């Protein structure tokens, strides 16, 4: 059996390669080694390649989303066994620390949190070592495809938890989603579960606005041509959105959300920011606005898996481009040029 494999390796800002590297092995009793069958690329990976995430160092294998087959487990693993088909979550959970006991797995201080493709080697590889396998993988339900389940490794729970639930979307709300990329589309899909009055998608790319309509947006706005604030206020008797969800991760879109939200409303920041944004407290302090931030915890993954298994959500529509595992560099190029290629999620299979 080979002791090496291929993987996407980060070599500093703007530099990555499909390198031959050592195959991972079980290092702790609670580890599993998973053969990666299906994997994708996240917008966060693009932030890493821009140099926005300092904790990612030269030599790190990227990626934090996968569906695969368990090949080997440590002696402390109780619920996962070789041959199992599993979702590898973007968040690793020790299951025992203060934060894990509160279901705040993203803040795990017992060795988990967002570590795959960040602090330890990740999933954009032929094999991946998954710490705390019992609490960091999920059995794939019968009757669903790898591609569908893969959308619940990150974007599904991220849009739902950090956008919709943190934003406290309620029936009858007007929800503005700024950024109609994969996470923004996930937030739109999640918001529709709560019967909002209107979901407004705001993006500079017309192709993504078209996608937003397919995911449930009632109204689409391209701010290069239209005044988003005026349109949202026109829907709300001049007040503004009940919930404004930021799903890009740049200063201008965060500031736009703060301008869109009504007094007493919520700005839910989902985007990964690599730089500061201006917080206009001189305007916001008197308006009772709540601002939430968050790294996904993935506590909603079991719920979303049930919705997927019963066909209450359609996750297959996220996948726009498919590649073989060996074509990872082409997949990155396609995903990085999403405004031109129309890419939402690219999927690679072994």
Phi–psi pair at 203, nearest 5 degrees: -160, 155
Question: Quick one: pLDDT at residue 313?
Answer: 94
Residue 270 domain boundaries: 157-292
Is the per-residue pLDDT at 2 higher than 90?
Answer: no
Residue 23 belongs to a domain with what CATH number?
A: 3.90.180.10
Report the distance separating Cα 77 and Cα 100, nearest Å: 18
Indicate the SS3 state at residue 296: coil
In this prediction, residue 52 has a pLDDT band, given cuts at 50, 70 and 90, of: confident
Q: Identify the domain boundary among 270, 292, 314.
A: 292
Do 218 and 308 have their domain in common? no
- Write the pLDDT tens digit of every residue in 168-221: 999 999 999 999 999 999 999 999 999 999 999 999 999 999 999 999 999 999
Is the per-residue pLDDT at 25 higher than 90?
Answer: yes
As a whole number, mean pLDDT of residues 84-100 equals 98
160 CB-near residues (< 8 Å, 6+ apart): 186, 187, 190, 300, 304
Do 91 and 198 have their domain in common? no
Do 148 and 166 have their domain in common? no
Is the per-residue pLDDT at 292 higher than 90?
Answer: yes
Is the per-residue pLDDT at 1 higher than 80?
Answer: no
Residue 191 belongs to a domain with what CATH number?
A: 3.40.50.720
If one counts the domains in the chain, the total is 2
User: What is the maximum span of the chain, computed from C-alpha positions, in angstroms?
Assistant: 67
Question: Quick one: pLDDT at residue 339?
Answer: 85
As a whole number, mean pLDDT of residues 23-34 equals 98
211-to-137, 203, 208, 214, 338 alpha-carbon distances in Å: 30, 11, 5, 5, 12
Mean pLDDT (the chain) is 97
Question: Quick one: pLDDT at residue 274?
Answer: 83
173 CB-near residues (< 8 Å, 6+ apart): 191, 194, 196, 197, 241, 242, 243
Question: Quick one: pLDDT at residue 4?
Answer: 97
**Residue from 39, 20, 127 nearest 332 by CA:** 39
Do 109 and 136 have their domain in common? yes
340 CB-near residues (< 8 Å, 6+ apart): none
Whole-number CA gyration radius for the chain: 20
Question: Quick one: pLDDT at residue 268?
Answer: 98
């Amino acid at each position: 059996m080979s002791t090496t494999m291929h993987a996407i390796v980060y070599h500093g800002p703007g530099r990555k390669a499909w390198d031959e590297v050592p195959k991972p092995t079980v290092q702790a009793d609670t580890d599993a080694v998973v053969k990666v069958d299906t994997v994708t690329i996240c917008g966060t990976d693009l932030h890493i390649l821009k140099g926005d995430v300092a904790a990612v160092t030269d030599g790190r294998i990227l990626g934090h989303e996968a569906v695969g087959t368990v090949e080997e487990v440590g002696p402390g693993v109780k619920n996962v066994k070789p041959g199992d088909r599993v979702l590898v979550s973007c968040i690793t959970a020790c299951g025992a620390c203060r934060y894990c006991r509160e279901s705040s797995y993203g803040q795990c201080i017992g060795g988990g949190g967002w570590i795959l493709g960040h602090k330890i080697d990740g999933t954009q590889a032929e094999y991946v070592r998954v710490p705390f396998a019992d609490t960091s993988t999920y059995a794939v339900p019968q009757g669903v495809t790898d591609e569908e389940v893969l959308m619940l490794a990150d974007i599904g729970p991220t849009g739902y938890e950090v956008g919709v639930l943190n934003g406290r979307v309620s029936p009858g709300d007007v929800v503005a989603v700024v950024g109609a990329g994969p996470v923004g589309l996930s937030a739109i899909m999640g918001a529709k579960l709560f019967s909002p009055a209107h979901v407004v998608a705001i993006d500079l790319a017309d192709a993504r606005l078209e996608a937003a309509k397919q995911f449930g947006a009632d109204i689409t706005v391209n701010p290069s041509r239209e005044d988003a604030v005026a349109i949202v206020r026109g829907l709300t008797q001049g007040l503004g959105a009940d919930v404004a969800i930021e799903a890009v991760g740049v200063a201008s879109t965060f500031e736009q959300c703060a301008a869109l939200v009504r007094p007493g409303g919520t700005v839910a920041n989902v985007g990964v920011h690599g730089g500061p944004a201006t917080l206009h407290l001189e305007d916001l302090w008197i308006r009772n606005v709540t601002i939430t931030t968050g790294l996904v915890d993935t506590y909603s993954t079991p719920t979303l898996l049930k919705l997927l298994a019963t066909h209450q959500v359609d996750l297959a529509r996220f996948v726009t481009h498919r590649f073989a595992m060996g074509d990872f560099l082409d997949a990155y190029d396609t995903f990085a040029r999403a405004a031109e290629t129309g890419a939402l999620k690219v999927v690679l299979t072994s």
